Amino acid sequence: MEFRFILFLFVASLPAILSEDISATIVVDGTTTVAQTDDNFVCATIDWWPHDKCNYNQCPWHYSSAINLDLSHPFLAKAVRAFNRLRIRVGGSLQDQVLYNIGNLQSPCHPFRKMKDGLFGFSKGCLRMERWDELNHFFNATGVILTFGLNALYGRHKIKKSLWGGIWDSSNAQDFMRYTISKGYQIDSWEFGNELSGNGIGAHVYADQYAKDLINLKNIIHELYKGSQFKPSLVAPGGFFDQEWFAKLLQVSGPSILDSMSHHIYNLGAGVDPKLVSKILDPNHLNKVADTFSNLTHLIRRHGPWASAWVGESGGAYNSGGLHVSDTFVNSFWYLDQLGMASKYHTKVYCRQTLIGGNYGLLNATTYVPNPDYYSALLWHRLMGKVVLAVDSDGSPFLRSYAHCAKGRAGVTLLLINLSNKTNFIMEVQNSINLKLAVTEQNISRDGFVHSLKKTFSWVGVKSSDEPLFREEYHLTPKDGYVQSHTMLLNGIPLELTGAGDIPRLDLVKVNVKSPISIAPLSIAFIVFPNLEAAACG
Ligand SMILES: *[C@@H]1O[C@H](CO)[C@@H](O)[C@H](O)[C@H]1NC(C)=O
Ligand SMILES: *[C@@H]1O[C@H](CO)[C@@H](O)[C@H](O)[C@H]1NC(C)=O
Ligand SMILES: *[C@@H]1O[C@H](CO)[C@@H](O)[C@H](O)[C@H]1NC(C)=O
Ligand SMILES: *[C@@H]1O[C@H](CO)[C@@H](O)[C@H](O)[C@H]1NC(C)=O
Ligand SMILES: *[C@@H]1O[C@H](CO)[C@@H](O)[C@H](O)[C@H]1NC(C)=O
Ligand SMILES: CC(=O)N[C@H]1CO[C@H](CO)[C@@H](O)[C@@H]1O
């Protein structure tokens, strides 16, 4: 027997300049699982860029790379620990020039240096094992779930322009993995290569060769982890989606080689683009990338149903992000919308470029103080469970809505994003009388209809219907109403580190469930309905 639970929200838009009220409905279907993310969907990256990586006369990386990040900075550990378990991916453009200082490596162990004809303008760089130890101690102490991106160009040579050929030489990576295992360092997944797919960014490799190298790497992982309880998964290619190249990679590598297909997203344009803010607030622009998600979903279903989809790196604006955009409140419209959209399209993990470094860091690269998106990530992580529910909205495209089962408890969490600078969206949570309408529209059989009436609005753990029920609201707005503020307000209170450098509490506001929900212009809200019993959230 199917019980349908439907959360029926009536939306009335109240434009500041009084004209007609527009009313619409948002329907959350609590009976159907649209998709499921990984338990640890939110992920952030640590890159390899040295302090002298510059774009547009800015050098926003400072000392934030895997090689020189200050791991003893108290804000860093606190920011990571606040997630309980944060997924981190170590990788980025220079990944395919990293040497591991272990085993028979013949080259001296130098850091990255500027080099005119080097890939991305830098020489090869080297990771000392002492530093690798430090990183792992940090990851272990802060509960990090680690994806490490391996150098996939090692042993290859440039054939012409950006095309690289030859077989991947696994020796240095093998020695590195062997060392990692001998130390007992937990690696969740090994990723192979960075942005070498399709036409590549700095370099590219043909998909059939890449696929053969993946088979080799899978065998190596299998061998090296023979005695281990946990076997890391294999993730690739960590590049931009290219239909033909991605399909070929799955076809040639074959069943069960690749566990996750990772792709990168920079859908806002260059960091210096003066239109960044207007693109972020434009629903049509935000929607464009849905095509990539959708195509990847179909491609995996068709050519490699054993693999899942990951966003391995996504920073919004490329070339280190946009100053006073990526690091300010307005970026959360893009970021949270991305998390919502990616989950709907079966993405298991979404890695934000970066945890720290560039203009798009969740943490400021010099002060290690969280930027607004840090809090958006944390709220998502704490409130949005892994089951994605269907949301139907016939309202304004400026009001974007996503619904998941609540995290770690009963109920449903809604994410509502108001891109409009002039419309206040008022929603009424309808009672069971109005629900009847919704159910009728769903064409449910007579028998189902009776049951659904009883079940549609079933509040968990409530004996008396007179007892007031609450929902929990988290409203995010920019300080002083300025969308490019570096400070985000939660329910009107600035989110700032405490005097001791701790992440502040993320305090909710309790609201009677029958009162209307109001989403102010240019604001974002998470609304938790802890008492809603949705079948899909069982
Ligand atoms: C990680 O930390 C746990 C407890 O904090 C400890 O038991 C374990 O040995 C550590 N593992 C490594 C590889 O450092
Ligand atoms: C998605 O697939 C459609 C149909 O094959 C194609 O027209 C479109 O260009 C693809 N988009 C992307 C981003 O791959
Ligand atoms: C980091 O913080 C410093 C000091 O507050 C500020 O000057 C700088 O603009 C911030 N960087 C970014 C990218 O927000
Ligand atoms: C809203 O945004 C539009 C387009 O950016 C702008 O022209 C208009 O002045 C803004 N209105 C308000 C009330 O801020
Ligand atoms: C419900 O009924 C309408 C009109 O009769 C029809 O167009 C629609 O396809 C039906 N939906 C379902 C899910 O059966
Ligand atoms: C329907 C509505 O309110 N549209 C407005 C949404 O906000 C954008 C910019 O923030 C305006 O340009 C629209 O007119």
DSSP assigned state of 93: G
> Please, which residues have CB within 8 angstroms of residue 514's CB and are 6 or more apart in sequence?
429, 431, 469
CA of 175 to the centre of ligand 1 (A): 22
Instruction: State the residue range of the domain holding 21.
Output: 12-34+389-537
Residues contacting ligand 3 via CB (< 6 Å): 60, 323, 327, 359, 364, 366-367
How remote is the CA of residue 421 from the centroid of ligand 4, in Å? Answer: 6
**Low-confidence winner among 19-33, 144-158, 230-244, 431-445 (lowest mean pLDDT):** 431-445
Report the C-alpha dihedral over residues 203, 146, 52, 263, rounded to 10 degrees.
40
What is the per-residue pLDDT for 431? 35
User: Considering only CA atoms, which of 27, 26, 30, 40 is closest in space to residue 347?
Assistant: 40
Both tokens of 518, joined, read 């109001």
| Each residue's pLDDT tens digit, 508-520 | 999 988 777 888 8
What is each CA distance from 384 to 2, 45, 262, 409, 529, in whole angstroms? 24, 21, 22, 10, 12
Question: Is 490 a domain residue?
Answer: yes
Residue 472 Cα, ligand 2 centroid: separation in angstroms? 40
Of residues 10 and 139, more confidently modeled: 139
Which of 130, 134, 223, 313 is catalytic? The answer is 313
Distance CA 483, CA 490 (A): 14
Question: Which of 148, 52, 147 shows the shortest CA–CA distance to 95?
Answer: 148
* 295 Cβ inside 6 Å of ligand 2: yes
In a domain, 477, yes or no: yes
CA–CA gap between residue 51 and residue 448 (Å, rounded):
63
pLDDT of the residue at 205: 98
Quote the number of domains for the chain: 1
pLDDT digits (tens, 9 = 90+) for 388-405: 998 887 778 998 999 999
H or E segment and range at residue 429:
strand 423-429
Query: Which band of pLDDT confidence, cut at 50, 70 and 90, is reported for residue 410?
Result: confident
Per-residue model confidence (pLDDT) at position 20: 43
**Residues 166-199: pLDDT tens digits?**
999 999 999 999 999 999 999 999 999 999 999 9
Check if the beta carbon of residue 526 is closer than 8 Å to that of residue 406. Answer: no
pLDDT score for 446: 35
Do the domain assignments include residue 525?
yes
Q: For the domain that residue 492 is a member of, what is the CATH number? A: 2.60.40.1180
What is the band of 490 on the pLDDT scale with cuts at 50, 70, 90? very high
Q: How would residue 337 be classed by pLDDT, with cut points 50, 70 and 90? A: very high
Residue 169 lies in a domain: no
Residue 110: band (very low, low, confident or very high) from pLDDT cuts 50, 70, 90? very high
User: Which residue's alpha carbon is at the smallest distance from atom 1 of ligand 1?
Assistant: 140
DSSP 275-293: THHHHHT-HHHHHHTHHHH
Cα distances (angstroms) measured from residue 481 to each of 375, 405, 488, 492, 493: 18, 31, 10, 11, 13
Residue 310 pLDDT exceeds 50: yes
Q: Going by C-beta distance under 8 Å and a sequence separation of 6 or more, which residues neighbour residue 419?
A: 281, 282, 283, 333, 398, 399, 400, 522
* Rounded average pLDDT over 425-451: 35
- What's the mean pLDDT when you consider all of the chain? 89
pLDDT tens readout for residues 452-467: 333 333 443 344 455 6
Please state, in angstroms and rounded to a whole number, the distance separating the CA atoms of residues 507 and 32: 30
CB of 133 closer than 6 A to ligand 1? no
Q: Which residue has the tokens 């009220």?
A: 21
Evaluate whether residue 24 is within a structural domain: yes
Give me ligand 5 centre to Cα 297, in Å.
27
Mean pLDDT along residues 272-286: 98
43 strand-pairing partners: 87, 351
Q: Are 421 and 17 in contact (CB under 8 A)?
A: no
Strands (E) across 308-422 are located at 308-314, 317-318, 347-352, 384-393, 399-406, 412-418
Residue 353 lies inside a defined structural domain of this protein: no
Q: Is residue 433 part of a domain?
A: yes
Concatenated DSSP letters of 505-521:
P---EEEETTSPEEE-T
CB 404 within 8 A of CB 388: yes
Is 453 part of a structural domain of the chain?
A: yes
Confirm whether 191 is a catalytic residue: no
Sign of CA dihedral 193, 93, 363, 487: negative
What's the pLDDT at 295? 98
d(CA 197, CA 205): 7
